Structure 1
Amino acid sequence: MKDKPILRYTANERTNHWIVAILFFMAGLSGLALFHPALFWLSHLFGGGPWTRILHPFMGVAMFVFFLGLVIRFWRYNFLTANDRQWLRGIDKVLRNEEEGLPPVGKYNAGQKLLFWTLLVCMLVLLVSGVVIWRAYFSHWFGIESIRLGALAHAVAGFVLVMSIIVHIYAGIWIKGSVGAMLHGWVSRAWARKHHALWYRQVTREEPTDSQKGIKP
């Protein structure tokens, strides 16, 4: 039993995550094709310019809808706690892979929680601004100044979203075992104990040792 892995993500949660990831790349590439003439060659991936303009907003809406599925599943785990704030103050130790002296964290650490809320805000801005500049259906309801502001907000939110996802991918690769958890759902007990000790205790109902409590023998 001590070597038995722990389920971190169910099949439904993993499927939801990868659908969002695929839609993100499709919406991102099509958005870049429309963003600047130098990147218009990317439109060939979607059948040319007209099809790119048609498909991009629908892919964006689909991405938002499926992302809401992740929000509904995980929002309750993403509120910052006192331990999270202390963890952030010791972020230099985290970057040096010296987490032993930091307070235990739950299913997600403070960095993951901040990323979660950043993604949610960006998605909301992209949705609202996207509706404003969606010429085929909605842009005729808005004045030119609103459309210009919407285009600017869309570009800024898109940039922040892309940078956040790059950080997300890098962190997932950097912390060995994270990508595997989203592929097959399971993590080792050693991984859970090291990176998410509080969540590990909640799942296994294992009491912390004296060293984990900070008590010297």
Structure 2
Amino acid sequence: MIRRQILRYTPNQRTNHWLVAILFFTAALSGLALFHPALFWLSHLFGGGPWTRILHPFLGVAMFVLFLGLVIQFFRANFFISNDRLWLRRVGRVIRNEEEGLPPIGKYNPGQKLLFWILLLCMLVLLFSGLVIWRAYFSEYFGITSIRWAMLLHALAGFVLVLSIIIHIYAGIWIKGSVSAMVHGGVSRAWAKKHHELWYREVTRDEHPERPISKKG
């Protein structure tokens, strides 16, 4: 652990996150190229239309698999607690940067938790709808009505996912220190206490466990 800093993300977690980010952008760009003729020029980034059509589903599956790695590591920290409901009721103060009256929160604030579950839902919808419309392997097993519904759900889930990632990026930039944590792994103790006090207490308690009482004599 970095001196006077708290480890927020391990090297494996950071690598996992950035690989998902890279795959998201490649899957999103290739998906947009296939979504509308006005965006077909994006297919040149992938070697043209045929290669874009071939690569897009594989990029999506790879993104989902790696995202599951993040889910496995972070899902426990994204369960809602009682303080989260109060935080959400006072979210206006958060937006105005008014910290007075906000309850202490854990490793992730309620906004981050909502985003986590929205991303997971979108990923699941994209995966299963994508399998239905994946012509090379699976679409022949489904009727035209199922394929049309799957295409609609795929587009809607993709739209929500892109908006969610934009919010995620904006929030990461807005809260100074968030991006640095995902790059370097550590955050200052002051940052942890200010933004995630319950998590700060938990981590510092683990660093300095209470010594057992001696029973000599």
Give the TM-score taking structure 2 as reference length: 0.93
Match of 2:209 in 1: none
Partner of 1:212: none
Give distance in 2, aligned partners of 1:48 and 1:99.
50
Partners of 1:53 and 1:186 in 2: CA distance = 40
Q: What's the counterpart of residue 171 of structure 1?
A: 171
Note the residue ranges of structure 2 that are not aligned, 5 or more in a row: 207-217
| Residue matched to 1:137 | 137
SS in 1 for 2:73: helix
Alignment of 1:179-194 (within 5 A): 179-194=179-194
Quote the residue 1:154 is aligned against.
Answer: 154
For residues 28-39 of structure 1, the aligned pairs below 5 Å read 28-39=28-39
2:210 corresponds to which residue?
none
Shift of 1:100: 3.4
Quote the Cα distance in structure 2 between the aligned partners of 1:45 and 1:100: 48
Q: Which residue of 2 aligns with 1:215?
A: none
Aligned equivalents of 1:19 and 1:33: distance in 2? Answer: 21
Residues 73-112 of structure 1: matches in 2 within 5 Å?
A: 73-112=73-112
Structure 1 alignment gaps of length 5 or more: 207-217
89-98 vs 112-121, greater mean Cα deviation: 89-98
Superposed CA deviations along residues 148-203 of structure 1, whole A, max 9, x for unmatched, are 00000000000000000000000000000000000000101111011000000000
Tell me the C-alpha RMSD between the 2 structures. 1.2
Number of the residue aligned with 2:45? 45
Q: CA deviation at 1:4?
A: 0.3
Return the offset for 1:28: 0.1
State the 4+ residue runs in structure 1 displaced beyond 2 angstroms: none
Q: d(CA) in 2 for partners of 1:151 and 1:157?
A: 10
SS in structure 2 opposite 1:94?
Answer: helix
Cα deviation code 1:50-78 (max 9, x no counterpart): 00000000000000000000000000011
Give, as a single letter, the amino acid of the residue that structure 1 aligns with 2:116: F
1:209 aligned partner: none
Q: 1:34-64 CA distances to partner (integer Å, 9 max, x unpaired)?
A: 0000000000000000000000000000000
How many residue pairs match? The answer is 205
Aligned counterpart, 2:212: none
CA distance in 1, matches of 2:46, 2:107: 38
Aligned equivalent of 1:56: 56
> Matched residues in 1 for 2:5 and 2:74: separation?
21
1:59 is paired with a residue whose SS is: helix
User: Match of 1:205, SS?
Assistant: helix
Cα displacement (A) at 1:97: 1.3
Give the residue type in structure 1 aligned to 2:54: I
In the TM superposition, what whole-angstrom CA distance separates every residue of 1:119-144 from its partner, at most 9, and x where no partner exists? Answer: 00000000000000000000000000
**Deviation of 1:99 (Å):** 2.1
One-letter identity of the residue aligned with 2:170: Y
Please give the per-residue CA displacement for 1:64-104, whole angstroms capped at 9, x wherever unaligned. 00000000000001111110000000101111112232110
Write the letter of the residue equivalent to 1:159.
F
- Partner AA of 1:23 in structure 2: L
- Give the Cα separation in 2 of the matches to 1:205 and 1:60: 40
